[in-house]
Copies of this chain bind each other. A is one copy, B any other.
């Protein structure tokens, strides 16, 4: 059952394949109304659907975008992927997705696999150092954009992470907290680092101690556990800490667990603000006050960017918005 081809349609409509193609694509040449009618009728009668393989080979465009993410199942990347899929769908594009498990080799394999599938453009959310990905993408000669984790010389779309760290910390300071710990990473170049540095900068400006232990971002896939263990230690050894700035919802999840197990009531005798704004924050107990990444805007921007070849390959940063819930102590 190979399905009818454009030739079958042409034969049935008593015309040529060229005309059928013109009708199907509304161009590039005009077609008489009567002929168009016959073609449409033939298409309907035969149940013809264009074979995109032929079209793609000919046009060297597949109508498909590639997306490579560290882990499709982690809430943050899942929401990002959904936003990007929505944007792609809105533009009539299909989305080919590859997950890397935060593994650099696998990231490279996935990028190659999607390039080999001839995607029209590629979106990559790098797990660690974006440099290798950028080199491959540049060499591929197709539009691309990094997402969330950017690189100074490559096009990218991300949140204003440094600012988000500042906002989160500022909010805790406004609550009157003196000793605030940051769950993140002081070094490195990813979003977690930017957020952490924003938080630390604000603490320093406001003359708050910045000596609290920082969670090292080590194996990213185990962030919750890292944050859990770090928070457990922190609460035991530094009872003066009354507030936590978690640089991702994953960190917050681990911190929440540690705090609960230590008998601290988050939102009451321990304040917590996190950054990410994934949906689950609303349903945790207590619900998370968070700086929310504008997922939809990020996804739309990323897709728009790779779909229209803009000359300047710059980085667009979107503001995160403060969502007040229970964990910061705002509503007692």
Binding site for B on A (CB under 8 A): 1-2, 49-54, 56-57, 60, 62-64, 71-75, 78-79, 81-82, 85-86, 89, 94-99, 110, 113-118, 141, 224, 253-254, 256-257, 260, 279-280, 283-287
Contacts of A280 on B, CB cut-off 8 Å?
Answer: 75, 253, 280
Q: Which residue of B lies closest to A1 (CB)?
A: B141
Contacts of A82 on B, CB cut-off 8 Å?
Answer: 71-73, 99
- Report yes or no: A98 in contact with B96, Cβ–Cβ below 8 A: no
Q: Which residue of B lies closest to A141 (CB)?
A: B1
Q: A96-B64, A96-B94 are in contact. Are A256 and B283 (CB under 8 A)?
A: yes
Min distance, Cβ A124 to any Cβ of chain B, angstroms: 15
- Report yes or no: A114 in contact with B94, Cβ–Cβ below 8 A: yes
Q: A54-B57, A253-B280 are in contact. Are A117 and B97 (CB under 8 A)?
A: no
Stoichiometry, copies per complex: 2
Q: A53-B53, A283-B257, A285-B285 are in contact. Are A117 and B98 (CB under 8 A)?
A: no
- Report yes or no: B283 in contact with A224, Cβ–Cβ below 8 A: yes
- Report yes or no: A117 in contact with B64, Cβ–Cβ below 8 A: yes
- Report yes or no: A117 in contact with B85, Cβ–Cβ below 8 A: no
Could you write out 25 A-B pairs with CB less than 8 Å apart? Answer: A52-B116, A52-B117, A53-B56, A53-B57, A53-B60, A54-B57, A57-B57, A62-B117, A64-B96, A64-B117, A71-B82, A72-B81, A75-B75, A75-B280, A81-B97, A85-B97, A85-B98, A85-B99, A89-B98, A94-B96, A94-B117, A96-B97, A253-B280, A254-B283, A256-B285
Contacts of A285 on B, CB cut-off 8 Å?
Answer: 256-257, 260, 284-285
- Give the distance in Å from the alpha carbon of A271 to the alpha carbon of B79 in the complex: 31
Q: A50-B116, A284-B284 are in contact. Are A73 and B81 (CB under 8 A)?
A: yes
Q: Which residue of B lies closest to A79 (CB)?
A: B73
- Give the distance in Å from the alpha carbon of A110 to the alpha carbon of B85 in the complex: 11
Q: Which 5 pairs from chain A and chain B are nearest by CB?
A: A78-B78, A73-B82, A260-B285, A72-B82, A253-B283
Q: A89-B98, A280-B75 are in contact. Are A53 and B64 (CB under 8 A)?
A: no
**Could you say which of A85, A86, A256, A283 has the most chain B C-beta atoms within 10 Å of its C-beta?**
A283
- Knowing that A53-B60, A74-B78, A75-B78 touch, tell me 17 more A-B residue pairs with CB under 8 angstroms: A49-B115, A53-B53, A53-B62, A72-B72, A73-B75, A73-B78, A73-B82, A73-B279, A85-B97, A86-B99, A94-B96, A94-B114, A94-B117, A96-B96, A253-B280, A284-B284, A285-B285
- Give the distance in Å from the alpha carbon of A246 to the alpha carbon of B18 in the complex: 59
